[in-house]
Structure 1
Amino acid sequence: MNKHSCDTLPAYARSALNRCNLPAIILGGITFQLHPKALRLDSMAYLHQPFFRSIAEIHNPQKRSDCFHDYMSSCFLLDNKDEAGFNDNSRVKRAKADYLRLLRGWLFNADGIEAAVLKYWVASRFGLLCQNHNGCLRDPHGRAFAQYQADFMRGLYNANALESQLDLLYSFCQYELVRRFPRRQHWHLYRGINHLTEFDVLAYGDDHEKVLLNNLNSFSASVDTAGIFGDRVLSVAVPSSKILYFPGLLPGVLQGEEEFLVLGGVYQVKHHR
């Protein structure tokens, strides 16, 4: 495989369609990792401009997070399930399905139903196709792929605009990253693994490898925390624009392991020594 193809998101890992300002082949490649740009989801600035304008003069991050929670509750009727159309007599009860439940579900099981919804959302918004969910998804006729489809469809069925909730979560995360860390384009994060073969290795180098990560991944800012999850620790420079969630964005959520949720693609990774 030549250098150019190693730097580019493989065809099997991308969709020609997405809902943001850059195509998957660009945002999923090494060049984007090294020289990132802002990613903007379609229509978000227009639809929710009043909210972001309202928090512009709030200097306390905790208060902005509180405003975000209140806005989500109001926008998606999270505290008024009956007005959102939920029926307590329905056979499938989905009233508790919201963005917070998805985040907590990911924490407990990155191959569960909530995780499948998150991975499907990444694929639909950024064009980064899910590579692994309870197994490799390379075979569209395989058992793992069928289970992945069943999981995300079950997670989205009779739910309260979960994909739109995640659109707003990502947009708020990006707003807060720029607001709190205005000059920071990259985060040096860590991930514990047992074998590099857990990923699709596209090229080996003297001091790094180029690997294809799943379309959504957990990372930590702590080497020690990452080391709990594997015998080897990978070090990755993650663009701020590829972060869906960072510790402290929403106090009390994903606090236990200080997780970052990171969009995938092709990355240069190094082994932490």
Structure 2
Amino acid sequence: MKDRRQDRPQGIARSTNRVGRASDWLGSAAFNEAPQPLHIWGICETNRSLFAMLARARDLPEAGEAFLGYMTAVFGIDPEQREEASGRRPFRSSFLSLIQGWSFDSNGPEGAVLKGWVESRFGLGPTFHKAVIEREAGTAWHAYVEEKMASRFHDNSIWSQLDLLFEFCQWAIRRFAWPGRSHLTLYRGANDIADRRASVVRLNNLVSFSSERSVADCFGDAILTAEVPLCKLVCFSGLLPSRLFRTEREFLVIGGDYRVSVDYV
């Protein structure tokens, strides 16, 4: 969860996205303070059988098992369903492998694919990937694009998998995790923060938070505390029947400008 730079450039915003909200507004502190529901166009409508199955779940663990079973059947991501043309060909890409890669290094190739998905679906371009991204013609931008479009991650409709993950996450929030709530108080460790106690900071287009302040302490010399809108959660600890994110109580969050309080370790 380490931020290598907090005073980031504006970022490259897209005029179009797939959630029907203006990208500049979606990335603003004003949106975070008065959020609106976010849905990726057509995903729920074209996967009605998934949400009909989820409606029968009695709790979140059961819903998570049902969701993972659906993804296994549709995208063939279960080990028994993966097919290799040769011993050297990698397994088909899956959203699980991307999230695992992110947990190891958010600036790795898996992180680039995830940031690219946010750029495509929400219109928010990254401000950092291995280096500060200031413009499309820059070296940092071209390196990011090369990684986000790597063929080894795009052989199995990977962005469609992430679309479904986001919609399942939003469904689970409303149904089981935090029904009726709009925000969670979350924490993020950071470095290179000016000596201030409250501020609006620009975070990358996809970032990690923790629900445990003691965990955030391990990732920087300053602790950012933010009221994160639930509609910006992509994944969270306990959403899926796996060990992903459980150790650090991690939340994968769409970024932009966040009003935060700052404490120093």
Same fold per superposition (TM over 0.5): yes
What is the deviation of 1:23? Answer: 2.0
Matched, 1:210 2:200: yes
Query: 1:221 matched to which residue of 2?
Result: 211
Query: 1:44 matched to which residue of 2?
Result: 43
Q: 2:262 aligns with which of 258, 262, 271?
A: 271
Give a deviation string over 1:136-184, Cα, whole Å, max 9, x none.
Answer: 1113233222211111111655520000000000000011111121121
Unaligned runs of 5+ in 2: 1-8
- Aligned to 1:16, the other structure's residue is in SS state coil
* Aligned partner letter, 2:59: N
Which fold has the larger relative contact order, with Cα–Cα distance below 8 Å and residues 6 or more apart in sequence? Answer: 2
Partners of 1:257 and 1:124 lie apart in 2 by: 28
Partners of 2:249 and 2:10 lie apart in 1 by: 33
Query: 1:81 matched to which residue of 2?
Result: 82
Partners of 2:115 and 2:109 lie apart in 1 by: 10
Matched, 1:196 2:187: no
- Aligned to 1:266, the other structure's residue is in SS state strand
Partners of 2:20 and 2:58 lie apart in 1 by: 29
Query: 2:4 matched to which residue of 1?
Result: none
- Aligned to 1:139, the other structure's residue is in SS state coil
Partners of 1:236 and 1:65 lie apart in 2 by: 27
* Aligned partner letter, 1:209: S
Query: 1:34 matched to which residue of 2?
Result: 33
Matched, 1:25 2:15: no
* TM-score when normalising by structure 1: 0.86
Partners of 1:189 and 1:228 lie apart in 2 by: 15
Give a deviation string over 1:111-157, Cα, whole Å, max 9, x none.
Answer: 00001000000000000111100001113233222211111111655
- Aligned to 1:184, the other structure's residue is in SS state coil
Q: 1:121 aligns with which of 100, 108, 117?
A: 117
Q: 2:245 aligns with which of 223, 248, 254?
A: 254
Partners of 2:90 and 2:18 lie apart in 1 by: 26
Distance change in 2, residues 1:33/1:114 (3 Å): same
* Aligned partner letter, 2:244: V
Worse overlay, 50-59 or 148-157: 148-157
What number of residue pairs does the alignment pair up?
252
Partners of 1:223 and 1:142 lie apart in 2 by: 36
Query: 2:157 matched to which residue of 1?
Result: 161
- Aligned to 1:54, the other structure's residue is in SS state helix
Contact 1:207 1:270 in 2 (8 A): yes
- Give the root-mean-square deviation of aligned CA atoms: 2.0
Partners of 1:52 and 1:158 lie apart in 2 by: 25
- Aligned to 1:254, the other structure's residue is in SS state coil
Contact 1:117 1:155 in 2 (8 A): no
Partners of 2:61 and 2:43 lie apart in 1 by: 22
Contact 2:53 2:66 in 1 (8 A): no
Matched, 1:66 2:65: yes
Distance change in 2, residues 1:264/1:223 (3 Å): same
Structure 1 moving runs of 4+ over 4 Å: 155-158
Contact 2:129 2:140 in 1 (8 A): yes
Contact 2:95 2:162 in 1 (8 A): yes
Query: 1:178 matched to which residue of 2?
Result: 174
Contact 2:197 2:263 in 1 (8 A): no
- Aligned to 1:272, the other structure's residue is in SS state strand
* Aligned partner letter, 1:28: G
Q: 1:136 aligns with which of 132, 136, 155?
A: 132
Task: State the identity %.
Answer: 35
Query: 2:5 matched to which residue of 1?
Result: none
- Aligned to 1:95, the other structure's residue is in SS state coil
